[in-house]
């Protein structure tokens, strides 16, 4: 925002039930799935909306500023930088669920001794713990300003970049570990039907009893093959800044002087080669 953007340079708080504030909710979880096949989304409903301000009155007491392009950018970045830390923090339980479900399905299928299974589980562990580690480090590297801890911007963006970059690789490995039963398995009504249940229990058992194995499969389906999983995958790429926006933030947060100086010391070129060494023209 710069001069000329006065009209758009405002910030305020607003109650979600303010008159004329309209929320058009998405459809992605419009039905309530069976708890058997949708162990998460049948109990926990996520809502995304198109939010429209259709002549909403904001009392002056709730206005932070108006007509102030000079404050707008700083405010937007201030929000984003905190929010990215939130964004990656709240993913850690999702990653734990994926790692735990991967470990469990390998045991349930009786394949946990196979080399390629171990390899995929190790990758899942490495992925989840890298994200957790970088998130933790972003907090440890905080600046405390006026009693508020501000997570380190570069490290926060690293954590989010690693999370987003490798999420689909984690989905792929989970589906690989689980097997086709993810999408060929029974629904809840069949499972509860007296005449069907014993057949399913007989044929769907492996190293674990059918009931427990199917419970693991349904969790992995929820996380990777149904609407809830699709929602999480899109969130990984797009929420709290898209992957491309994330890369820009990472690039901006990086201070290149150390690397440039060290390379120059090794390579021996002149500091002012091309006359534009000093800054890195970002």
Tell me 279's DSSP state: S
Q: Out of 10, 56, 233, 245, which residue is the one contacting its own copies (CB under 8 A)?
A: 233
According to CB under 8 A, which residues from 153 to 212 bind its own copies? 154-155, 158, 161-162, 167-169, 171-172, 175-176, 179-180, 182-188, 190, 196, 199-200, 203-204, 207-209, 211-212
Count of residues of this chain found to bind its own copies when the rule CB under 8 A is applied: 121
**Minimal distance, residue 57 CB to its own copies, in Å:** 19
Q: Out of 1, 14, 103, 150, which residue is the one contacting its own copies (CB under 8 A)?
A: 103
Closer to its own copies at the Cβ: 1 or 235? 235
Nearest to 98 by CA among 210, 224, 206, 208: 224
**Minimal distance, residue 161 CB to its own copies, in Å:** 5
Q: Report how far residue 30's alpha carbon sits from residue 113's, in angstroms, rounded to the nearest whole number.
A: 40
According to CB under 8 A, which residues from 71 to 100 bind its own copies? 93, 96-97, 99-100
Does 45 bind its own copies (CB under 8 A)? Our answer is no
Q: Report how far residue 123's alpha carbon sits from residue 117's, in angstroms, rounded to the nearest whole number.
A: 10
Closer to its own copies at the Cβ: 115 or 146? 115
Q: Out of 84, 88, 153, 221, which residue is the one contacting its own copies (CB under 8 A)?
A: 221
How far CA 144 is from CA of 148, 155, 158, 189, in Å, comes to 5, 16, 20, 55
Q: Report how far residue 145's alpha carbon sits from residue 128's, in angstroms, rounded to the nearest whole number.
A: 30
Which residue in the block uniquely carries the two structure tokens 């199917």? Answer: 214
Query: Residues 102, 124: contact at Cβ < 8 Å?
Result: yes
Three-state secondary-structure class, residue 69: helix
Closer to its own copies at the Cβ: 84 or 213? 213
Does 261 bind its own copies (CB under 8 A)? Our answer is yes
Three-state secondary-structure class, residue 195: coil
Closer to its own copies at the Cβ: 72 or 99? 99
Q: Out of 107, 151, 153, 163, which residue is the one contacting its own copies (CB under 8 A)?
A: 107
As given in the structure block, the two tokens for residue 78 are 């201030």
As given in the structure block, the two tokens for residue 91 are 């993913």
Nearest to 160 by CA among 103, 86, 213, 229: 86
Q: Out of 78, 119, 149, 278, which residue is the one contacting its own copies (CB under 8 A)?
A: 119
Does 134 bind its own copies (CB under 8 A)? Our answer is yes
Closer to its own copies at the Cβ: 9 or 109? 109
How far CA 128 is from CA of 92, 156, 203, 265, 282, in Å, comes to 7, 15, 33, 37, 31
């Amino acid at each position: 925002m710069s001069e000329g953007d006065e009209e758009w340079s405002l910030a305020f708080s607003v109650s979600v039930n303010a008159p004329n504030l309209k929320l058009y909710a998405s459809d992605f979880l419009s039905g309530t799935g069976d708890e058997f096949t949708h162990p998460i989304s049948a109990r926990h409903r996520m809502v995304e909306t198109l939010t429209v301000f259709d002549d909403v009155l904001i009392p002056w007491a709730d206005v932070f500023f108006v007509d102030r392009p000079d404050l707008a950018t700083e405010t937007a970045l201030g929000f984003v930088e905190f929010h990215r830390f939130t964004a990656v923090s709240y993913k850690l339980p999702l990653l734990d669920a994926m790692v735990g479900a991967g470990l469990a399905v390998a045991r349930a299928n009786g394949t946990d001794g196979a080399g390629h299974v171990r390899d995929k589980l190790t990758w899942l562990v490495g992925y989840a713990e890298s994200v957790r580690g970088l998130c933790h480090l972003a907090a440890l590297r905080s600046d405390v300003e006026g009693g508020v801890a501000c997570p380190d911007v570069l490290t926060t963006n690293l954590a989010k970049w690693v999370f987003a970059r490798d999420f689909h690789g984690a989905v792929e490995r989970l589906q690989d570990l689980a097997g086709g039963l993810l999408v060929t398995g029974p629904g809840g009504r069949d499972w509860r039907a007296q005449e069907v249940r014993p057949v399913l229990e007989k044929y769907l058992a492996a190293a674990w009893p059918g009931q427990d194995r199917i419970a693991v499969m349904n969790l992995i389906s929820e996380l990777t093959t149904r609407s809830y999983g699709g929602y999480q995958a899109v969130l990984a790429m797009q929420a709290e800044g898209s992957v491309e926006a994330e890369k820009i933030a990472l690039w901006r947060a990086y201070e290149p002087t150390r690397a440039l100086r060290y390379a120059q010391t090794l390579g021996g070129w002149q500091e002012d080669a091309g006359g534009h060494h000093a800054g890195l023209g970002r």
